[in-house]
């Protein structure tokens, strides 16, 4: 018997996951999306995998451009995570008007300055995985590293800090 989609989502919601912002700079604009399906794959070479909707615009742009940045969001970035998870969002730069950011040197993609960490990446390949694709990314630089920044987590459908308290409310 197939697993019920709601039950499956509720089950995986029990797993606390870090929240990241994947950004791509193409010739026209900056594209970004919130992702929580991220995993370390290899240290040599440094690889991470990111889950993206297969039919989504961010996956399409990433495949075309071939480079991106992945910013691990801090607890105060809960509003950023919400903005970038909404459908029909405008340019990434417009969603970050009040957030300090810079560009990663290799990809030119946006990275948040006050994040715990940001990775500048090159796309190795996309792997089909149901209604998603796994983007296998080679890490080429670490333009932001702030180990003291509190991480943003997604747990039970909410953005929380490392204590489990709702994040971004202060």
Q: Which residue has the higher pLDDT, 165 or 59?
A: 59
Is the whole model's pTM more than 0.85, yes or no? yes
The CA–CA distances, whole Å, from 86 to 13, 35, 102, 152 equal: 19, 12, 22, 17
Most confident of 60-64, 91-95, 164-168: 60-64
Look up the CATH superfamily of 24-157: Electron Transport, Fmn-binding Protein; Chain A (2.30.110.10)
**C-beta neighbour count of 4 within 10 angstroms:** 10
Return the pLDDT at 170: 46
Q: CB-based burial of residue 124 (10 Å sphere; 0-12 exposed, 13-18 middle, 19+ buried)?
A: middle
Express each pLDDT in 97-108 by its tens digit. Answer: 889 999 999 999
Q: Which residue has the higher pLDDT, 18 or 168?
A: 18
Return the pLDDT at 88: 67
Return the pLDDT at 9: 86
Using only the alpha carbons of the chain, give its radius of gyration: 15
Nearest to 80 by CA among 101, 52, 65: 101
Express each pLDDT in 112-153 by its tens digit. Answer: 999 999 999 999 999 999 999 999 999 999 999 999 999 999
Confidence label for 169 from pLDDT (cuts 50, 70 and 90): low
Tell me which of 17-26, 32-41, 78-87, 145-154 is least confident.
78-87
Q: Average pLDDT over the chain, rounded to whole?
A: 92
Return the pLDDT at 95: 85
Confidence label for 60 from pLDDT (cuts 50, 70 and 90): very high
Nearest to 151 by CA among 19, 37, 13: 19
Q: Which residue has the higher pLDDT, 156 or 135?
A: 135
């Amino acid at each position: 018997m197939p697993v019920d989609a709601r039950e499956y989502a509720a089950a995986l919601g029990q797993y606390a996951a870090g929240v990241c912002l994947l950004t791509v700079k193409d010739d026209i604009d900056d594209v970004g999306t919130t992702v929580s399906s991220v995993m370390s794959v290899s240290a040599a070479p440094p690889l991470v995998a990111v889950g993206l909707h297969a039919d989504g615009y961010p996956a399409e742009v990433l495949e075309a451009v071939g480079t991106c940045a992945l910013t691990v969001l801090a607890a105060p970035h809960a509003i950023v995570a919400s903005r970038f998870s909404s459908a029909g969002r405008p340019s990434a730069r417009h969603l970050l008007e009040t957030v300090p950011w810079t560009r990663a040197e290799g990809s030119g993609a946006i990275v948040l300055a006050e994040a715990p960490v940001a990775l500048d990446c090159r796309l190795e390949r996309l792997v089909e995985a149901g209604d998603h694709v796994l983007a296998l990314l080679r890490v080429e630089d670490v333009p932001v590293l702030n180990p003291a920044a509190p991480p943003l987590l997604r747990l039970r459908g909410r953005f929380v800090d490392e204590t489990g308290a709702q994040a971004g409310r202060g």
